[in-house]
Amino acid sequence: MYFTFLGTGAGVPAKLRNTASMVLTMPEYQGDAWMFDCGEATQHQILHTSVKLSKIKKIFITHLHGDHIYGLPGVLGSRSFQGGDDQLTVFGPKGIKDFIEMSLSISSTYLKYPLEIIEIDEDGVIYEDKYFKVSAKELEHGITCYGYRIEEKDQPGTLLVDRLKAEGIMPGPIYREFKEKAAVTLPNGRTLNSSDYIGPDKKGRKIAVLGDTRICQAAVDLAEGVDVLIHESTFSHGMEEKAYDYFHSTSSQAAQTAKAANAAALILTHISSRFQEDDHLLLEEAREIFSPVYLAKDFWTYKID
């Protein structure tokens, strides 16, 4: 699976960075994609990438500031125009339902697919299926704002075909029994433990995507032990007071959160336009505290092995 960053700026669009949006594409799950935030012109940004609107099955909105939602009506409409016909689910804070329904109603936009809107009103698990669990936790921002923790569940290991063949067991329906049963009895009456013929479980990956936030314990909780933490970096080191006043974080604070959470990697995004020419300073500041750190740019992709 991999992230495609569609917008990595803060507040308003800039020449080098559009407003906030990113997509998690999962080739190992039929190519399904999940979008996180949808700032103005997100659908235009998608045109420069391999992201397909019809493959987006879920959209997670962190909060209702314009730079995180103004592109949403356009994306929803274009997904319909481009042939998307299966259900799309939007998660977000209270108010996201009114925003979407009013925008679509006033613009007479008809969707050809079922749209489910789930408003989050408390911390906890907001989605779970056979493969994933997604949790939300409120962060510290000027309005209600959530961070998301995506946990891929551990998957059964691979069937050790060579070992089965060495036992004289050739491919066939019996292979499925080794995947589904604790023990398998062969036609000759011999019983084998399935675990001896299945590799170790594949450990699920863990990701934290935070909305706008001050440095806070909730951010650390969401990022605990993740493979990658995606964290805003609106301000630079030395601007902590301004960051606090505006409910944002500095590059150093993002790194402190990653370190406290024992994250495996940190990606900085939501970069203020004041750093258009020297955004590398944010990266250097964060690297003094934590490593590895990456600085997201529009259209950049990051693979999670």
CB contact at 8 A, 272 and 10: yes
Instruction: Measure the CA–CA gap between 17 and 15, rounded to whole angstroms.
Output: 6
Binding site, residues?
Answer: 63, 65, 67-68, 141, 212, 270
Instruction: Measure the CA–CA gap between 59 and 33, rounded to whole angstroms.
Output: 9
| Of residues 258, 264, 261, the one with CA closest to residue 285 | 258
Tokens of 22: 């990113």
What are the b/e assignments for 152-185, b being 16+ CB within 10 Å? beeeeeebeeeebeeeebeeeeebeebeeeeebe
Instruction: Measure the CA–CA gap between 30 and 128, rounded to whole angstroms.
Output: 17
Binding site for Zn(2+), residues?
Answer: 63, 65, 67-68, 141, 212, 270
Instruction: Measure the CA–CA gap between 225 and 77, rounded to whole angstroms.
Output: 37
Instruction: Measure the CA–CA gap between 277 and 3, rounded to whole angstroms.
Output: 24
State residue 288 phi and psi, 5-degree precision.
-70, -15
| Of residues 30, 25, 29, the one with CA closest to residue 53 | 25
Tokens of 250: 């500095």
Phi-psi region of 78 (alpha: psi -120 to 50; beta: other; left: phi over 0): alpha
Tokens of 83: 């042939």
Find the distance separating the first CA and the last CA of the chain, reported in whole Å: 7
Active site residue 67: yes
CB contact at 8 A, 267 and 246: no
Catalytic: which of 67, 98, 154, 201?
67
Catalytic residues: 67
